[in-house]
Structure 1
Amino acid sequence: MIGETTLKKPGLVPETLWDIEHYKEVGLYFYLEATKDILPNGRVNVENHGEMIMLGSYSYLGLIGHPEINAAAKAAVDHYGTGTHGVRLLAGSLKLHNELEDRIAQFKQTEAAITFSSGYVTNLATISSLLRKGDTVICDKLNHASIVDGCLLAMAKFVRFRHNDMDHLERRLQEAGGNGRKLVIADSVFSMDGDIINLPEMVRLCRKYGAYLMIDEAHSIGVLGETGHGIEEHFDLPPDSIDIKMGTLSKAIPSAGGYVAGKKELVQFLKHEARAFIFSAAIPPGSAGAAKAAFDVIEAEPWRVKKLQDNYDHFAGRLRQAGFDLLYTETAIVPVVCGSTDRAALLAKHCQDRGIFVQAVVAPVVPEGQARLRACVSAAHCIEDINYCADTIIEGGRQLGIIR
């Protein structure tokens, strides 16, 4: 209509948390680079960069491309096709899904297991569906974003304790009192620091104060324990130490999805109450077949776990000896602390220009002043490449004044 006024709309997207365009302009943006080929010995062929040593992959055991796992994925596609008919409760459940869940339960020594379409939604759905008003969820300060988001979505009281500080956890449990259920949640291995949660003390405190315990094993399956069975094996604890065992199928397990393993009553509840299970399509057959086979391979080839630990010891040992701060890492995740965002971005580019695929991780993902390279070693890496990566990082660190 003539004379009608319209309101001016604000921008569609808010301001980003860091200046992406600036880092693109100065040539320090390396994120979302496309891999064309996955090569042997922990190497990749990257579009516009050529062959690089992959130092950022979660394929801790080097199982991507394993012939037995590939064959299982292909057989599943040949038998079932590329997708499912829909959500599991209606038409999307395959015999293969039940077999995978049985295999996970066997691997984690629980009564049952449930699978979800991703690790992120596994945490989101499990935490938000289990907790009610009057309950309390107590969370390690450095837990993964998916855990935090699940806690925020839940109706329970949400409190945190200082990272791996068991005295502070005990105070939080005391403050929660006796009303409602208490759920304590922590990562087993912390994704940006590489350190391990003090599980024995968490188990003791949860039992003392009548709390349930949930552990996210995204970065510990295939990594911790002499045979890669995870954090309980690492600490030589009985299999009933953890009430809710969460894990992913996309890291040491070279597939996609997430799982929760525990008692039958827990799994039955989640299959009928967790919204991401009820309203999301099932894991595709190829992914389910690959994941099931991967658990078999881990048990059949325990040398991979030993090779991973040896590679970590050598790589981290060389960087520490050179003067780098690697925080408290004990696992395949090696945080090479640089300090400022610019220093981390410049050291990452120094490595990328010399054929190493490694990323800078900066605030707000990590605390301001603790920007870092997030390097991940693999059982697939040969010692020559491990040494080359260490030499390159040390050289760049000295040039940038990160180390002397």
Structure 2
Amino acid sequence: MKNKTVINNLPKDPFSGYFSPGKPNVFKQKLLQTQISSYWSRLISKTMSKGQYTYLQSGELKSTHKIRLGNENFLNVSSYDYLSLIGNREIESSAIEAINKFGTSTGGVRLLSGSHVLHEELEHKLAEFKGTEAAISYTSGYMANLAIASALIDQKDKVLIDEKIHKSFIDALSMAKSDFEKFRHNDMNDLEIKLNEVPTYRRVFVIVEGIYSMDGSILELPELLLLKRKYGFFVVIDEAHSFGVLGKTGRGVNEHFGIHANEVDVWTSSLSKAIPSNGGFIGGSRELIIYLQHQSSPYVFSSALNIGSVAAIIKSLEIIERYPDKIENLWKNVKYFLNSCKQIGLNTGISQSQVTPIIVGSKNDTLKLSAFLYKHKILSPAAVFPAVPFNQGRLRICMNAAILNEEMDYIIEKIDSGIKSNVKANTIQKYS
């Protein structure tokens, strides 16, 4: 493999390997010659010229908490491989065996000819694991959330969403032209104020997350369900970052609080984080799932989840059940990392989980810190506006079950020294 030219340990042009030579330049053809595209082109070029562009780095080996970039080994603290299951031999063997036996695709949509016995096995397993009556699988968590917004929510309904909800739901609700409004993060008092403003004749959906993807905070589920009993709204919980992780056996935020899954109307999650595969699913009542099988466009009009991914998910769930120590190890590492950060005054916001933001502040300072870590063989691309609120730029550190204490110590040491040498003290934002 031909290596990219590297200056200061940063690729000179991370786009060089993506486009074929001799192809027409779309910008010259004015296909994307707009104010917005020109702004992004200038912004990316400026960031690259400063040696601060750490996105789109192509790994050469398996993407565990260690990764290989351009013939050099890095600690990877941006991977969602929370339980360190990427590269697990049993999971890989199951996927390979399924492909050898059944092929790479079922050749159609699920409703017609694309369903396979492994899809049925997967959905039975997901429902059993989550504790719902039934489940339905999709090609991604994004598609599952799009299915909820397009098939379940009517334009006459009112949707109240946590202000830190994932972008997939913002997109889905916007495309469905839903009437949605944000309430303050995890603030049930603010939610109740907004509930009282909704006319009683309207259906109300409240959409939240088990663990919030940019802040690592955990949903206040008991308080939310108290309001549900009082006002009778429908609850949708996205467990992309809590499925397989939260609760003693990884069954999610309801297990964490000792609450049965059937107290929530709709569960949704990706299958590409703690589960090292692709796909997403929705869990709920049998009637809900039958309806979605026939009325959700991402299911009806999209090819079935590929067989290799299906087999990998099934085996992953078996391993999580068989080895609960993986979850225990993850939370030991979470506790160690959070406590170590706080001891030296790093701003970890409101994190309570394996998703730990290091709040920096301005976009420029956050990019500089990310580039500093890259030079010290730590991959942690910056999260800046509009992915997070303005001037709340951060590094999102994702913990996993296999990382060692000395590796965490090294990461914390470099973050601390990087902030001291690259970030102006008066630009560090107090988190709120």
Same fold by TM-score greater than 0.5: yes
| Higher alpha-carbon deviation: 27-36 or 378-387 | 378-387
Deviations 1:134-157 (A, max 9, x none): 211111111001111122223542
Aligned to 1:352: 374
Aligned-partner Cα distance in 2 for 1:290–1:232: 25
The residue correspondences of 1:227-266 to structure 2 (distance < 5 A) are: 227-266=249-288
Matched, 1:88 2:115: no
Shift of 1:277: 0.6
Matched, 1:61 2:61: no
Aligned-partner Cα distance in 1 for 2:30–2:53: 31
Shift of 1:345: 0.9
Aligned to 1:32: 56
Shift of 1:274: 0.6
Secondary structure of 2:359's counterpart equals strand
Aligned to 2:141: 119
Aligned-partner Cα distance in 2 for 1:133–1:397: 47
Aligned to 1:188: 210
Deviations 1:310-331 (A, max 9, x none): 1111112111111111110011
Cα pair 2:66 2:73 within 8 Å, conserved: yes
Secondary structure of 2:264's counterpart equals coil
Aligned to 2:8: none
TM-score by length of 2: 0.88
Name the amino acid aligned to 1:321: Q
Report the count of equivalent residues: 395
Compared CA separation, residues 368 and 49, structure 1 to 2 (3 A): farther
The residue correspondences of 1:3-402 to structure 2 (distance < 5 A) are: 11-16=32-37, 19-38=43-62, 42-46=65-69, 48=70, 50-401=72-423
Cα pair 1:359 1:375 within 8 Å, conserved: no
Aligned-partner Cα distance in 1 for 2:424–2:397: 16
Secondary structure of 2:349's counterpart equals coil
Aligned-partner Cα distance in 1 for 2:63–2:171: 36
Shift of 1:177: 2.5
Structure 2 residues not aligned, in runs of 5+: 1-28
Compared CA separation, residues 21 and 160, structure 1 to 2 (3 A): same
TM-score by length of 1: 0.94
Compared CA separation, residues 169 and 342, structure 1 to 2 (3 A): same
Name the amino acid aligned to 1:15: I
Secondary structure of 2:262's counterpart equals coil
Cα pair 1:131 1:155 within 8 Å, conserved: no
Shift of 1:72: 1.1
Aligned-partner Cα distance in 2 for 1:120–1:9: 31
User: Identity of counterpart residues, as a percentage?
Assistant: 38
Structure 1 residues not aligned, in runs of 5+: 1-7
Secondary structure of 1:78's counterpart equals helix
Name the amino acid aligned to 1:45: R
Shift of 1:12: 3.9
Name the amino acid aligned to 2:341: L
Name the amino acid aligned to 1:24: M
Deviations 1:285-334 (A, max 9, x none): 00000001111111111111111111111112111111111110011111
Aligned-partner Cα distance in 1 for 2:298–2:210: 23
Secondary structure of 2:60's counterpart equals strand
Compared CA separation, residues 397 and 226, structure 1 to 2 (3 A): same
Secondary structure of 2:36's counterpart equals coil
Cα pair 2:383 2:394 within 8 Å, conserved: yes
RMSD: 1.7
Deviations 1:37-63 (A, max 9, x none): 0277x21112x2511111000010000
Shift of 1:241: 2.0
Name the amino acid aligned to 2:162: D
